[in-house]
Amino acid sequence: MARLIEHPCVQHKLAIVRNAETGHKRFRELSREITQFICYEALQNIRTKEVMVETPVGPATCRMIDTDLVVIPILRAGVGMLDGILELVPTARVGFVGLYRDEDTKQPVTYYERLPPQIEGGTCIVIDPMIATGGSTVAALDLLKEHGARNVVVICIVTCPEGIEAVEAVHPDVRIYAAAIDEKLNDKKYIVPGLGDAGDRLFGTSHV
């Protein structure tokens, strides 16, 4: 299931991110800010516990997060979203999954993985700016579940119906949170209208 985050602040920042004239410094800053907004929504139902806290005036009954949070960026573009989540939940652990697309089979291949043991029993947050075909997301989710993950959400900035359908077909229990659900994929499997190559725009490796 996919949830669109339509908060005006998110949509305002997304408009600037989409603009081809936005440079990599601003693109990176806004991606972090958008991610933080989306993560806020994605984590609103995580497990908490009741605690007693002594204020300067007296005791207060409060609630604190009661689950291990593990953020898993899909390399490389997912790294550009990482700081946004860590600013919100600085105690979260971080794992990494690196994937590339095989030119012959067109299937994602894992070239790197480093996952903390807390993915089993904790709450995993997979981050990638764009879910286009959904292949990389599905591969990352497959990997996490093979390592024992049971509670997983996916945060992206832009996706499309094809990507959502691909993830839901294999992992119907995983909820996707996005700032935009765009029209479609074109013949080159780019999201339309999208925002270009997120990795290149984040790290300044293109002319944009």
DSSP string, 139-204: HHHHHHHHTT--EEEEEEEEE-HHHHHHHHHH-TT-EEEEEEE-SEE-TTS-EES--S-HHHHHHT
Averaged pLDDT for residues 169-174: 96
Q: Cβ distance 99 to 74 under 8 Å?
A: yes
pLDDT tens for each residue of 40-75: 999 999 999 999 999 999 999 999 999 999 999 999
188: number of Cβ within 10 Å: 7
Question: What per-residue confidence (pLDDT) applies to 118?
Answer: 94
Model confidence at 141: pLDDT above 60: yes
Exposure string over 57-96, b if 16+ CB within 10 A, otherwise e:
eeeeeeeeeeebbbbbbbbbbbbbbbbbbbeebeebbbbb
Q: What percent of the chain has pLDDT over 90?
A: 88
Give the rounded distance of the alpha carbon of 187 from its chain centre: 25
Q: Cβ distance 154 to 145 under 8 Å?
A: no
Q: How big is the chain, counted in residues? A: 208
Question: What per-residue confidence (pLDDT) applies to 102?
Answer: 76
pTM above 0.85, yes or no: yes
**Helix pair angle (8-18, 24-42), 10° resolution:** 150
Model confidence at 208: pLDDT above 70: no
Question: What per-residue confidence (pLDDT) applies to 25?
Answer: 94
Average pLDDT value for the chain: 94
Model confidence at 93: pLDDT above 70: yes
41: tokens are 């929504």
List, in order of start, the domains of the chain with CATH numbers.
2-203 (3.40.50.2020)
Model confidence at 19: pLDDT above 50: yes
